[in-house]
Amino acid sequence: MFRRFCTSLLLLCLMLPPVMARSEERTAAAQPAPKRVLAIFFGQRDTPYERTLEDGLRSAFAPAAGKAALRLETIYLDMFPLYQPERAALIAEQARRRFGATPGFDAVLLSGFSAARYFEDFGRELTSGPVVLVKSAQADANVLDLREPLRIADNPLAVDQTLELALRLFPQTREVLVISGTGPEEVQMMASARKSLARFQETSRITFIDDFDADTLPARLAAAPPDTIVLTLRISRDSKGRRLLPPSDYVARLARASRAPLFCTLEPALRASECIGGVVSAGVPASIALAEALRKVVDSPASWPAGKVLELPSEPIFDARQMARWKRPLELLPAEAQLINYNPTPY
């Protein structure tokens, strides 16, 4: 009796793996393949802006309660600040070998104007679904003159809010140095900053610096008077046309040299430098908000009509170590401010 029981148990154990395998195959077959989003970036994968955006997308595309996973594929163009047609043709050929002639992505995300131009020239076969352009802060999407309207995600530049907080921290300020690069989009950023900061000129002298030599500007900041603060936009190129890439590295160089506290308006630059803080764009909250909007538009294109602009969030972020360096109490910051490099101790 016992022998027959053992024999039956052995046969059952031998049968279980194939049965379980067939069950797993049926379960896998019942689950639809994840929808696919292609993100085309204007820059390089290893720069802070692209890392922040891609990491945020991948995190938000992961499966969660009530949310299916989205699969993210990427193309990095390394074209900044200008589009390069010959390089684009080579990348397009490589993409056809990688994805096939008609890959059928459910949506395409274009980060920056070079990515939008690449899509216009070579990307029409990538998708028949929604196409979203993430444009740089204050840049004008109309200059692209694309054949069809895109869904636009905008990274607004909170330069006036940043200066308000800077003046709260340093009320004795008499001069504000506003620095921007000379790239095409940076020229637009500076023009916008001039307008939004005009109201501050009644109480502070504001000097806009967009004509500079990258090698001599650090020395100028090192000699700044003690009642000065510095506010940076994006700085990717100087007046001689030299590329300063990634821009956050040059901001870090300025912050180390500056005798005056330096504030940032872009999160990647803030996190990669000794910037004291700012109300920053193009950060983690923006990438998560963008990912959630992409989730919705993939399932329902009507949720984000073509031509509609989605304003991505900015947030106040300050570096606790830099606040201590400049002897500013944390109590001066707004309640909603996020602190980085903050290690409180009871001692």
Say how far apart CA 61 and CA 313 lie, in whole Å: 18
- Band (pLDDT 50/70/90 cuts) for residue 306 is confident
Asked if residues 247 and 81 have their Cβ atoms less than 8 Å apart, the reply is: no
Residue 21 scores a pLDDT above 60: no
pLDDT tops 60 at residue 277: yes
Helix-, strand-, coil-residue percentages of the chain, each rounded to 5: 45, 20, 35
Q: Which domains does the chain have, with CATH numbers?
A: 35-156+284-311 (3.40.50.2300), 159-280+314-340 (3.40.50.2300)
Average pLDDT across the chain, whole number: 88
Q: Say what the pLDDT of residue 27 is.
A: 46
Average pLDDT over residues 312-338: 96
pLDDT of 276 strictly over 80: yes
When pLDDT is averaged across residues 173-195 and rounded to a whole number, the result is 93
Q: How many C-alpha atoms does 50 have within 13 Å on its Cβ side?
A: 23
Beta-bridge partners for 40: 75, 110
Q: Where does the pLDDT of residue 326 fall: very low under 50, low under 70, confident under 90, or very high at 90 and above?
A: very high
- pLDDT digit string, tens, across residues 212-247: 999 999 999 999 999 999 999 999 999 999 989 888
At residue 184 the predicted structure's pLDDT band, cuts being 50, 70 and 90, is: confident
Per-residue burial over 240-263, b if 16 or more Cβ lie within 10 Å, else e, is eeeebbbbbebbbbbbebbebbbb
Decide if 119 contacts 126 (C-beta within 8 A).
Answer: yes
pLDDT tens per residue across span 200-210: 999 999 999 99
Whole-model pTM: value is 0.83
